[in-house]
Amino acid sequence: MKMKQRLALVIILALVLSVIAPAGLPVYGDAGGSAAANHTFHINEGNITIASGTGEHAGKIAVTHQSSPSVTAFVYAADNIIITGTTTTNRVVVNSGVTANITLSDANISRTSFSLSICVFDMSGAIVNLTLVGDNFLRSNSLQPGLKVPEGATLTIKGPGSLKAENAFTGSSSAGIGGSNNQAGGIINIIGGTITAMGGNSGAGLGGGGLGNGGTINISGGTVTAIGGDYGAGIGGGTGGSGGIINITGGTVSAAGGRAAAGIGGGLNGGSGTVSISGNARVTATGGGPILERQNGWDIGSGSDNTSNGTLRIQGDGNQNPTVIFTTYGVDAGIPEGVEKPYTYCTIEGAGARDKNGVMIDGAYGPEAKDQAPLIVTGAPTSLIIGETCNLSSLISGGSTTGAITYSVSGSGVDVSHEGIVTAVEAGTAAITVTKEGDTYFSAVSTTVTVNIAAPVMPTIHPASVNYDLTAPTDRFTTITWGSAASVTAVVHGSENLVLGTDYTVNGNKLTLQADYLEALTLTAGEVMEFSIWFNNNSTETLTVHVVKGSIPSDNANLKSLTISAGTLNPGFSENALQYSVNVDNRVTSIKLTTVTADSNATVTINGTKVISGNVIPISLNTGNNMITILITAENGSTKTYAIHMNRAAASGGGGSGGGTSGSNRDKQQQTNETEKTEEIKEIEGSKDTQEASPPQKRILLTIGKREIVLNNETHQLDAMPFIDGETNRILVPLKFISEALGATVAWLPETRQVLITEGDTEILLTIGSKEVLVNGEMILIDTEPRIIPPGRTFVPLRVIGELLGATVTYDEGTREIRIEK
């Protein structure tokens, strides 16, 4: 009976104990299907180890915490494990194989002792969904990352709080978040929060430890700052490690590599891995600078000393488009296989926005590529003569790629080689399209050059025939000149090709047959020689030389003396001084000019009127500047022009005759603009006093500041209007229209920027921007230089029309109307 009683007591005790949890083994939560619960553990109370439950707790998570003694709590896998508190001695370990939801809530876990290699949060082999609340700090000691996520582990981080993870010691060879020394990073997903990851020496900020690859890093949100230690990438591999797989689809990301490592990509000696940036991500990448003899790391790409570039793609979808900022060194990553354009629907910025070839890649990219900088062709000719060539390739700049240059032609007139050599082949107008090909970053860019092609202007030789004196051949040579920009290529006499430099010389548009060559011909009186002059435009002209007896005509075109009745020549007269200036008082209304030639056979022409050497010639003076030109023609036809710039002072402003004799006072007197314009017209008209009156055949009316011009009662429209030069107060008029209306021909010489006007036997050569004018080879000076006015019209002083083309000019100051008659 007692045995039965005892057995019953044991059974009852067993039943009671079965419903009481063992001391130190609490169980949280209800059945596995109930709502997730929160469980808070304090790190300051001891280490926290999170493991898989076993036995009757299989399927649950065992959380061992506190110390002396430790306590193990069992929670469901869906529950949230909250870790809070501050410690410098304890740590968190999540065992391999565990999948846990963990929240760090204002947790500060820091191990600063160097004696042991301990990670304050080690999740090797585990899967952790980490939520951040408040501000959290993870700081490990030697060789360990702040948050250890090695290969085989998966970490997903979300906000709203922040986390700073780092190693406490220099030379730690570990990542901020990722692998420790000699470990690759695992899978790290960041979807929110504010994350700062700082690697130790040789470790990445986010990714691999020393000698470790970056693993797989996916960032879709949050604010991420990743700073690599020396030789470690900001995001990617540690020393010797490649970047792994890096996908950034959102958030704000800043990645800075340690020295010789990439901002995003490989550590020292590591390739970039596979990098993809998309969505609305904003990424700033800074490669590490050089150290010792190593190169810098790329902003995105490989570390120093690595040629395995990996790939980079930056691609939005047109709605969410990423922005990438290359701060310093640019990118060397290649193009993913099967991808034509690595950058689409994105913006690239920064001082380092360029690829490994130095091509600038900054700017906004569309669905295909980014537009290049404009293509510029500088100094291309707008006109060519048949047979002329131009190397267009040497004139091209701009664009943004190293792509090839191609040429295409529409219209007619030119051929263009693959090398950009333009050859004028026929008269016409051609549009040459220059295209710089695109590349992986840029679309192609083009520009067009228009060229007008004209037939060659036949050179005109002056003189067409020359008398040659046999009595003194050694004292005689023959010089010819020609118009246009053609140049001599050969001189032929009979079947003999003359030798340049020995038989003849060429200087600009002047050719001289040497005396020694002519003497060697031993010609007799009455013979005629013909020389064929070949030009570079394949044209030929003939020079005829007639042989006569007699004395040699003198070539002396010097003045022996030059005197004026008032004022002083400055400089003093010399036969070789061609330009003089004279100042006289306003009371001097005319002067007497006396010229004496050095050779009695020479003739004198003053202001277009022939005079006798030694005669006294009266010349009226206008107020202001008066130009007196003295043309001396030698017996053999050579000429020399002397010029006197005579300045007559303006009338005194005081109105009285007393005082006012001081030269300094006279110098201060000024003229009005209208007076100077009137004197200019008088000067032009005065030069025509000796012309015989005859009814004008051409009459041109034009007005200052207006485009209308009337030619023989027919109205035309100019595309540039006459004007008064503000500096010299001279009237400038369009050269081509007026010259051609007066019966002259006008040719533009682009190579020398000159204009050639031909009227009968007179050739006038003006140079844009120069006051020197050549009239049949002799130089005279004008007081205002020709210039080009938009849209490309040549304007000259009105006096050029009056003096050089033999026209009569009048000017109405009231109506500002100019009348030109001839």
Residue 13: its pLDDT value, please?
A: 43
Average per-residue pLDDT for the chain: 84
Alpha-carbon distance of 151 to 155, in angstroms, equals: 11
pLDDT band at 694 (very low <50, low <70, confident <90, very high): low
- Average pLDDT (542-561) is 79
pLDDT at 791 over 90: no
- Average pLDDT (361-378) is 87
Q: Pairing relation of β-strands 147-148 and 177-178?
A: parallel
- Average pLDDT (127-151) is 95
Strands in 206-207's sheet, in edge-to-edge order, are 71-76, 60-65, 48-52, 92-94, 121-122, 147-148, 177-178, 206-207, 235-236, 264-265, 300-301
pLDDT band at 205 (very low <50, low <70, confident <90, very high): very high
Q: Pairing relation of β-strands 343-344 and 363-365?
A: unpaired
**Which is more confident, 89 or 780?**
89
> In what helix (H) or strand (E) does residue 516 lie, and over which residues does it extend?
helix 515-520
pTM of the complete model beyond 0.85: no
Residue 233: its pLDDT value, please?
A: 98
Residue 115: its pLDDT value, please?
A: 61
pLDDT band at 295 (very low <50, low <70, confident <90, very high): confident
Q: Which residues contact 168 (CB under 8 A, 6 or more apart)?
A: 110, 111, 112, 139, 140, 141
Alpha-carbon distance of 489 to 541, in angstroms, equals: 12
How is 402-427 classified by DSSP, letter by letter? Answer: -PPEEEEEEESSEEE-TT-EEEE-SS
**Which is more confident, 200 or 659?**
200
Contact by Cβ (8 Å): 431, 449: yes
- Average pLDDT (649-658) is 56
Share of the chain above pLDDT 90, in %: 48
Alpha-carbon distance of 770 to 757, in angstroms, equals: 16
Question: At which residue do the structure tokens 């067009």 appear?
Answer: 448
pLDDT at 468 over 60: yes
- Average pLDDT (265-293) is 94
* Domain 559-651 fold: Immunoglobulin-like (2.60.40)
pLDDT at 490 over 60: yes
pLDDT at 267 over 90: yes
DSSP code at position 800: I
pLDDT at 388 over 80: yes
Share of the chain above pLDDT 70, in %: 86
Residue 552: its pLDDT value, please?
A: 63
Residue 357: its pLDDT value, please?
A: 84
Contact by Cβ (8 Å): 141, 112: yes
- Which range has highest mean pLDDT (7-16, 233-242, 735-744, 811-820)? 233-242
**Fold match flag (375-454 vs 559-651):** yes
| CATH classification number, 694-821, choose in 3.40.50.740, 2.40.30.10, 3.30.457.10, 3.30.413.10 | 3.30.457.10
**Which is more confident, 741 or 33?**
741
Residue-wise pLDDT tens digits, 571-582: 999 999 999 999
Contact by Cβ (8 Å): 260, 304: yes
Q: Pairing relation of β-strands 346-349 and 363-365?
A: antiparallel
Specify whether domain 375-454 bears CATH 2.60.40.10.
Answer: yes
Domains in the chain: boundaries: 32-109, 142-365, 375-454, 461-469+480-504+514-543, 559-651, 694-821
pLDDT at 724 over 50: yes
Alpha-carbon distance of 385 to 392, in angstroms, equals: 16
Per 3-state DSSP, the chain is made up of helix, strand and coil in percentages (nearest 5) of 10, 45, 50
Strands in 762-767's sheet, in edge-to-edge order, are 745-749, 754-759, 762-767, 772-775, 778-781
Residue-wise pLDDT tens digits, 533-543: 888 777 788 88
